[in-house]
């Protein structure tokens, strides 16, 4: 009787181990599927049914609201060259990491910067998060003072 009880427990233990392995495999498969779905959702991120990478996104209430928050937070001064509307500059709220590549950051205030039209146009769709955009020396609000830049790279003369 004792042997049959031990055998029964061993058999039950084996069954439980098999069940656990099956559960673990199913869970892993489900997690992989979820990761793939999230990746696809990020690529297809929408606001009110509009893809964040589209021009129509810029007309949504959500974008206009976060745009105004950025203007309040950073002010109406180009964060690159310092131009203001008083200088005749048209101000743009720009995505540091492009909406097309980072749709999940489209409404993230920390991914926004205020630029004048000229600086924004010059930047294009580049991801400027890795660049120190304040390291350039600007002259007349929009043109780079190349003489100053050259002096930074020239060897010291006595």
The answer, yes or no, to whether residue 18 has pLDDT greater than 60, is: yes
Least Cα distance to 96 among 85, 82, 81, 108 occurs for 108
pLDDT value at residue 35 = 59
CA distance 101 to 95: 11
Mean pLDDT across 5-26: 76
Burial class (CB in 10 A: 0-12, 13-18, 19+), 95: buried
Rounded mean pLDDT, 58-87: 94
Tens digit of each residue's pLDDT (9 = 90 or more) over 42-67: 555 677 777 888 888 889 999 999 99
User: Which one has a higher pLDDT value, 128 or 51?
Assistant: 51
- Whole-angstrom Cα distance, residue 103 to residue 126? 14
Sign of the CA dihedral running 123, 127, 131, 132? positive
Structure-model confidence comparison of residues 141 and 122, the more confident one: 122
Please calculate the CA angle 149-153-158 and round it to the nearest 5 degrees.
115
Asked whether residue 10 carries a pLDDT value surpassing 60, the answer given is yes
Q: Is the pLDDT of residue 75 over 90?
A: yes
* Coil, strand or helix at 100: coil
pLDDT at 128 over 90: no
Residues in the chain: 158
Per-residue model confidence (pLDDT) at position 36: 60
pLDDT at 6: 75
Whether pLDDT at 115 is above 80: yes
């Amino acid at each position: 009787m004792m042997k049959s009880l031990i055998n029964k427990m061993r058999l039950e233990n084996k069954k439980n181990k098999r069940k656990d392995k099956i559960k673990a495999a199913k869970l892993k498969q489900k997690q992989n599927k979820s990761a793939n779905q999230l990746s696809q959702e990020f690529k297809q991120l929408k606001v009110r049914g509009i893809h964040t990478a589209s021009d129509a996104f810029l007309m949504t209430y959500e974008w206009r609201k976060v745009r105004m928050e950025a203007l309040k937070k950073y002010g109406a001064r180009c964060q690159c060259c310092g131009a203001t509307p008083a200088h005749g500059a048209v101000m743009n709220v720009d995505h540091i990491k492009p909406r097309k590549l980072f749709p999940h950051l489209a409404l993230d205030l920390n991914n926004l910067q205020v630029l004048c039209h000229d600086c924004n146009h010059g930047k294009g769709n580049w991801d400027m998060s890795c660049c120190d955009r304040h390291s350039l020396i600007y002259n007349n609000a929009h043109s780079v003072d190349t003489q100053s830049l050259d002096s930074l790279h020239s060897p010291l003369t006595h």
